[in-house]
Chain A
């Protein structure tokens, strides 16, 4: 589905990503962990075409990304940014329609079928009542859900999310994590996150990124067994067993 080979990116001679190699199978959730400044966001921005001057190879569904237009690339990949800004007074539905841009000709509007699909997605994200609300009046949680829902409406094969729960309260974090989990059966999820527990519980695969290079790559249980997290963040993590699942999770430090 997704293949990166010798993938590097630099700005003014400084390597931000260094020789990344990833091959992603169909229908799985990959979480990218790493300290601040390790290149996580740069990596997913490069995959979806925001950063263009990378070197190496990137194939999506067997097609070389360098030979595709941005519009064609956006038909198979969509992205939810870390900072959810909208600079104009669009309604939720306007925003939704814009997400479908890669599939529309310049003068073709949404067909009845496409409109119904959009409404179904809004319904499944419990957003249907907000369809005529201005994006500027939404709360952080509502806005995050609208961004994710609209990216799903874009109908991608791969959904990239950059720290989707960073600015949310615990209730909304759970809700968004659940929504992402539900999407796994329909598309590949690549997630950048600092929410280590949620990543360990919900992902099939975890990649640790440090100083622009892959530090580890494996299943959540492998990552924990080999104490990769301690080395990745230069910090000792305390682990306990999850009460309902056969997996370790981290517990916060207690300061005295």
Chain B
């Protein structure tokens, strides 16, 4: 049964990939000049990026949920996205005109913003080497609010055009060209997946509560610290690349838990595949739903994700 579910999931991913690469404006024949330009240089990197971004956000949501033993935790719970957004807003305000090979400068700004935010939250929650969960959550919420206020302040100070750019960035998008973006994300996906699969037993045991987990041999304090830092790096990389795309990190882990219960050895690959697949499909819809323009993918995930999550909550309440 478990293998069948994974096989279906795998073919679903393949189907989403094929559809996302082949559907779009214009007729493109294999081997033509347009094929290289549109398929290889735009759609394929975009689909790969969407899959990795969705997968990483979903994985991050799953890890945060295990870390806090709270099924409503998301990749953005601890304010990483707000830090990244503040970094991006600063970039737009300052009108920086430097170029860095292989890197997108707005991504560099937002990555640094996210990291500063992570260190700040970590510093606030760190009490003589021990990270208290509730302090971490509160610090995350407070830093998130401070960053949001500063973003508003920057929008107020800047030109209208800059404010518009910030708002557009906050909607999240996958407007990329070339393989640089997926290559930048690849190490985070590989390390994130490898680490979480390697530590699947500890992740399962975290659900037993801190006391029991400790008595079963997990150094909960140390593990939570590592989990927090790794997770934050993953989210920072994603948000820096595509802006804060919502709901995937919440919905995909829930869908995976419906299919595979709480065993992380199955949940981790399933969540990554579901998250990736979900964002590829959302991006496909976002690109093609309006004829004259493309919707930012963040709007599509919110439009589909909100009602779907409500459905999940209601069906859980019924059962």
Contact = CB atoms under 8 A, between A and B. Distances in A.
Interface of A: 45, 48-50, 52, 69-71, 73-75, 77-79, 81, 85-90, 94-95, 98-99, 101-102, 104, 106-107, 154, 160
Interface residues of B, number: 23
B210 to A, nearest CB: 8
B16 interface: no
Given A86-B207, A86-B208, A48 B201 contact: no
A90 B262 contact: yes
Contact of B216 (A52, A85, A86, A154): A154
A75 B215 CA distance: 9
A45 B210 CA distance: 11
B199 A102 contact: no
A98 B201 contact: yes
Contact of A87 (B199, B208, B215): B208
A78 B211 CA distance: 11
A255 to B, nearest CB: 37
Contact of B261 (A71, A81, A89, A107): A89
| Chain B CB within 10 A, most for which of A48, A73, A78, A88 | A88
B215 A50 contact: yes
7 contacts: A49-B214, A70-B218, A71-B218, A86-B207, A90-B263, A101-B201, A101-B205
Contacts of B211: 45, 50, 79, 81
B216 A81 contact: no
Nearest to A48: B215
B212 interface: yes
Contact of A98 (B69, B204, B219, B261): B204
A74 B262 contact: no
B262 A69 contact: no
A102 B219 CA distance: 11
B209 interface: yes
A71 B219 contact: yes
B287 to A, nearest CB: 37
B217 interface: yes
Given A106-B198, A106-B199, A101 B207 contact: no
B234 to A, nearest CB: 20
Contacts of B212: 79, 81
B65 to A, nearest CB: 10
Contacts of B263: 90, 94
Interface in B250-288: 261-263
A164 to B, nearest CB: 14
A27 B209 CA distance: 29
Given A50-B214, A101-B216, A101-B217, A90 B209 contact: no
Contact of B215 (A79, A86, A90, A107): A79
Contact of A48 (B204, B208, B214): B214
Nearest to B263: A94
A74 B216 contact: yes
Interface string B198-241: 11011011011111101111110100000000000000000000
B215 to A, nearest CB: 4
Contacts of A70: 214, 217-219
A61 B113 CA distance: 50
A104 B205 CA distance: 13
B164 to A, nearest CB: 44
Nearest to B223: A70
Nearest to B221: A52
A69 B223 CA distance: 13
B126 to A, nearest CB: 15
Contacts of B218: 70-71, 101
A154 B263 CA distance: 20
B214 A98 contact: no
A101 B200 CA distance: 11
A237 to B, nearest CB: 32
B217 A71 contact: yes
A88 B205 CA distance: 10
A81 B262 CA distance: 22
Nearest to B216: A101
Contacts of A160: 215
Interface string B148-186: 000000000000000000000000000000000000000
Contacts of A98: 201, 204-205, 208, 216
Given A71-B219, A74-B216, 16 more contacts: A45-B211, A49-B214, A74-B215, A78-B216, A79-B212, A86-B207, A87-B209, A89-B261, A90-B261, A98-B204, A98-B205, A98-B208, A101-B202, A101-B216, A101-B218, A102-B217
Instruction: Pick the 10 closest A-B CB pairs, nearest first.
Output: A74-B217, A102-B217, A79-B215, A88-B262, A88-B207, A71-B217, A70-B219, A87-B207, A50-B214, A87-B69
Contacts of B219: 69-71
A106 B201 contact: yes
Contacts of B205: 98, 101
Contacts of B204: 88, 90, 94, 98
A70 B223 CA distance: 12
A78 B215 contact: yes
